[in-house]
């Protein structure tokens, strides 16, 4: 009988122990030092050995027979079989096709797609691997921002003069500071421990729930402003706001503060610019509509007295306003982020311990943790000679509208004409909106190449598919910015089937294309690991942090570095608030910009010069709500990361189709019973889901988590409950061009 071995590995959802027998993972168990471990790893054994694994290099039948120029063949993507080939033959075909496209059309006709969540390992990071390879090949059209935070990444630099991700990692109150100083915690969109199970690169200490237990014991008032009660840990007050109306709610609060004379004028004058341009809008002088609590209540569904009382509490206590990522994943998603900053500035608490503004708590696990930031073991991607890029959520527009101009954050750009897509480490048929439109767009390129462990919807719609290993089939190093742990992630089992890691695949392609040494620098995977690790050790010494030798890390499996402590909690923007003249922000004014001359100069009707209530095209107050009277929100799943491990979950009896949460009144009106199958639909598409009736969701709102593999039947109806067959594929605004997934109206009926 094969030897049973147990080792620890890391993942985006944290550390866990893996037990193997021979070439199989047989079980997993919790990492004992995690105070609140995730349950996601329980699906790993079934997923790694699932029948949907890509076993050999595969090429779509008609593409292989007729070549990339047969337009009729492209319509068969996702509908026909693949032909398995030996590795050397498949590599040669792919290399020749890459060469054909870059020679005939130029590298600006190649789009390099990835999304960075494929592995928590630092070397086998799919995004870095594919981008390094394409840069060595002469470049590619890239994407900027993310589906999760594109609108935030556009607006925050204009308001605070700092990149949004740096803001979240370095300029937020940490959990210990909140516990000590905050008296009122106002959470727009909640702070969801379900989402904080995961973090980029991993999160070993899941701390959200334990900290909320401390908040409760200390008596911090916790107010959850969200369509779902479950968007915060138990015990918070719940204000069931209508989706997409948070900006109006905030304006109602701001009107009370201003009308009562509670605004902190000295703070606004010393640290901010533009309040006097914003004020006429707030009081109604510029548009004839004062933003009173009564006005706000008619939009957001929270009564006026509650708005008044909350405003009073905010100015009388140390108040931290937090905003979830979900709010900016909607039409005009920039506005609640801007308005929350304006509101926090009005009460003058930005820069005070436990007060002010915070973004992204609960969105991922690393936010709020007191940890010293170290260098991040990064494979160099090289320089991209192609300067063209698109906002990541505009992929379908790019493929469908080559040569058309579009606006983005003050720039007038043109969509490139893409002939070849290389996708590695991601599933756009999970992330993207309006999947029937994406499927049409996916038929436009001449060739699509994918590295993928499983036959996802994306792999099924490719032309060339290379079987990739999972992180359990290769050696790597685990290290994340918001975590103190460093892991050796050992190869736990041999590669499944004929799978190879991305580095091996790209090494073979680059060798065939004539730049093998440029890509590999004559290093094997193991030599790269040691090289990157040695750099990390050297950088850490400069920070006075001792890191064990590579051999010691391998022997011990993991180490908890001495970098997690309350002493690493700092006041947000401390230098600026101590002396704004000596340490100004990187904005045109050097201050927090309540009004932005820059944005106003763009003349975008969908993003004016200060925070503004702009009704989405789809919300419960729209005319379209007469036809589709339910607002769909599509939160992150609690049982996995994005669509990963879904193949294993879908095999569990009763788990699919995905449950949709619906209020008892809405269910009763439609004769829907708990556990019954329902059809969710609008003019864009339809999917089947399983009803879960609950009073923990606002009336006229339903919640269908993302992550089900796109599985349309012959009529185009998704059978697994994928909400992105329903969502809109439009930008948040011309400023951010982010995803507008949460601006979506639908109807639901029993599936007979």
Q: What is the mean pLDDT of residues 200-228?
A: 96
pLDDT for res 288: 97
| Position 196 pLDDT exceeds 90 | yes
pLDDT for res 569: 81
Q: Would you say 107 and 417 are in contact if contact means Cβ atoms under 8 Å apart?
A: no
| Position 304 pLDDT exceeds 70 | yes
Q: What is the mean pLDDT of residues 295-314?
A: 98
C-alpha distance from residue 80 to each of 59, 74, 500 (Å): 11, 11, 24
Q: Would you say 359 and 167 are in contact if contact means Cβ atoms under 8 Å apart?
A: yes
For strand 464-467 and strand 485-489, is the pairing parallel, antiparallel, or unpaired? unpaired
| Position 330 pLDDT exceeds 80 | yes
| Position 116 pLDDT exceeds 80 | no
- What digits encode the pLDDT tens for the residues 146-166? 999 999 999 999 999 999 999
pLDDT for res 253: 98
Q: Which domains does the chain have, with CATH numbers?
A: 84-145+376-477+495-539 (3.40.50.740), 150-369+573-602 (3.40.228.10), 623-750 (2.40.40.20)
More confident residue, 232 or 377: 232
| Position 429 pLDDT exceeds 70 | yes
Three-state secondary structure readout of 477-539: EEECCCCCEEEEECCCCCCCCCCECHHHHHHHHHHHHCCHHHHHCCCCHHHHHHHHHHHHHHH
Cα 234 off chain centre by: 24
Q: CA-CA distance, 544 to 547, in Å (whole number)?
A: 10
Question: pLDDT band at residue 604, thresholds of 50, 70 and 90?
Answer: very high
Which of these, 660, 635, 732, 622, lies nearest to 328 by C-alpha position? 732
Q: What is the mean pLDDT of residues 739-749?
A: 98
What sign for the dihedral angle of Cα 492, 494, 498, 501?
positive
| Position 181 pLDDT exceeds 90 | yes
| Position 57 pLDDT exceeds 80 | yes
List phi, psi (to 5°) of 112: -100, 105
Q: What is the mean pLDDT of residues 639-659?
A: 95
Q: Would you say 576 and 583 are in contact if contact means Cβ atoms under 8 Å apart?
A: yes
| Position 1 pLDDT exceeds 70 | no
Catalytic residues: 115, 117
Q: What is the mean pLDDT of residues 291-318?
A: 98
pLDDT for res 115: 80
pLDDT for res 156: 98
Q: What is the mean pLDDT of the chain?
A: 96
pLDDT for res 145: 94
Spatial strand order in the sheet of 221-225: 237-239, 221-225, 184-188, 319-323, 356-359
* pTM value > 0.85: yes
| Position 269 pLDDT exceeds 70 | yes
Q: CA-CA distance, 549 to 539, in Å (whole number)?
A: 14
C-beta neighbour count of 404 within 10 angstroms: 11
pLDDT for res 566: 81
Q: Which residues contact 200 (CB under 8 A, 6 or more apart)?
A: 12, 116, 117, 364, 366, 480, 481, 482
- What digits encode the pLDDT tens for the residues 379-412? 999 999 999 999 999 999 999 999 999 999 999 9
| Position 190 pLDDT exceeds 80 | yes
């Amino acid at each position: 009988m094969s030897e049973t071995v147990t080792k620890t590995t890391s993942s985006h959802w944290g550390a866990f122990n893996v037990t193997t027998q021979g070439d199989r993972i047989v079980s997993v168990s919790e990492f004992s030092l995690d105070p609140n471990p995730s349950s996601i790893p329980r699906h790993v054994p079934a997923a790694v050995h699932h029948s949907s694994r890509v076993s050999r290099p595969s090429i779509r039948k008609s593409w292989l027979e007729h070549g990339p120029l047969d337009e009729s063949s492209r319509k068969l993507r996702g509908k026909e079989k693949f032909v398995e080939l030996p590795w050397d033959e498949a590599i040669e075909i792919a290399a020749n096709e890459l060469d054909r496209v870059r020679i005939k059309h130029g590298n600006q006709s190649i789009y390099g797609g990835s999304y960075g969540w494929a592995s928590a390992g630092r070397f086998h990071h799919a995004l870095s691997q594919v981008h390094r390879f394409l840069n060595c090949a002469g470049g590619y059209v890239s994407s900027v921002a993310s589906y999760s935070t594109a609108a935030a990444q556009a607006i925050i630099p204009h308001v605070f003069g700092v990149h949004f991700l740096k803001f979240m990692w370095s300029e937020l109150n940490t959990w210990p500071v909140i516990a000590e100083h905050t008296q009122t915690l106002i959470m727009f969109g909640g702070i969801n421990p379900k989402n904080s199970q995961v973090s980029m690169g991993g999160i070993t200490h899941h701390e959200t729930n334990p900290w909320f237990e401390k908040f409760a014991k200390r008596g911090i008032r916790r107010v959850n402003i969200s369509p779902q009660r479950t968007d915060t840990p138990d015990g918070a007050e719940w204000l069931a706001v209508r989706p997409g109306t948070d900006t109006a709610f905030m304006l109602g609060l701001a009107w009370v503060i201003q009308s009562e004379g509670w605004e902190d004028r000295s703070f606004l004058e010393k640290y901010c610019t533009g309040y006097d341009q914003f004020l006429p809008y707030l009081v109604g002088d510029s548009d004839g509509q004062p933003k009173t609590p009564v006005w706000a209540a008619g939009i957001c569904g929270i009564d006026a007295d509650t708005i008044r009382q909350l405003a009073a509490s905010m100015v009388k206590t140390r108040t931290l306003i937090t905003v979830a990522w979900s709010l900016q994943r909607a039409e005009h998603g920039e506005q609640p982020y801007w308005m929350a900053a304006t509101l926090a500035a009005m009460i003058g608490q930005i820069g005070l311990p436990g007060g002010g503004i915070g973004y992204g708590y609960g969105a991922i696990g690393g936010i709020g943790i007191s940890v010293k930031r170290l260098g991040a073991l990064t494979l160099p991607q090289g320089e991209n000679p192609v300067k063209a890029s698109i906002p990541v959520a505009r992929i379908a527009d790019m493929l469908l509208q080559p040569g058309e101009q579009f606006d983005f954050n003050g720039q007038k750009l043109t969509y490139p004409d893409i002939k070849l897509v290389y996708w590695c480490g991601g599933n756009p048929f999970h992330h993207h909106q309006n999947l029937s439109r994406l499927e049409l767009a996916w038929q436009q390129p001449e060739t699509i190449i994918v590295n993928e462990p499983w036959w996802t919807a994306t792999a099924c719609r490719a032309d060339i598919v290379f079987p990739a290993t999972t992180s359990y089939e290769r050696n790597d190093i685990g290290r994340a910015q918001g975590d103190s742990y460093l892991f050796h992630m050992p190869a736990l089992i041999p590669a499944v089937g004929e799978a190879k890691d991305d580095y091996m695949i790209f090494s073979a392609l680059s060798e065939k294309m004539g730049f093998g040494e440029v890509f590999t620098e004559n290093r094997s995977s193991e030599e790269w690991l040691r090289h990157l690790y040695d750099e990390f050790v050297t950088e850490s010494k400069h920070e006075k942090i001792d890191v064990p030798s590579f051999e010691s890390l391998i022997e011990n499996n993991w180490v908890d570095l001495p970098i997690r402590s309350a002493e690493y909690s700092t006041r947000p923007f401390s230098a600026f608030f101590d002396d704004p003249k000596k340490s100004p922000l990187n904005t045109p004014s050097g201050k927090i910009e309540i009004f932005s001359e820059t944005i106003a100069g763009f003349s975008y009707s969908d993003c004016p010069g200060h925070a503004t209530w702009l009704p989405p095209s789809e919300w419960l107050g729209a005319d379209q709500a007469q036809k589709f009277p339910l607002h769909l929100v599509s939160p992150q799943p609690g049982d996995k990361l994005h669509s990963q491990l879904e193949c294993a979950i879908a095999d569990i009896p009763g788990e699919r189709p995905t449950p949709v949460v619906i209020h008892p009144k809405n269910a009763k009106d439609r004769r829907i019973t708990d556990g019954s199958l329902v059809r969710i639909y609008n003019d864009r598409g339809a999917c089947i889901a399983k009803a879960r009736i609950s009073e923990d969701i606002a009336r006229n709102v339903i919640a269908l988590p993302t992550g089900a593999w796109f599985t349309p039947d012959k009529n185009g109806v998704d059978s697994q409950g994928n909400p992105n067959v329903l969502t809109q594929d439009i930008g948040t605004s011309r400023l951010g061009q982010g995803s507008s997934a949460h601006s979506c109206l639908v109807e639901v009926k029993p599936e007979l």
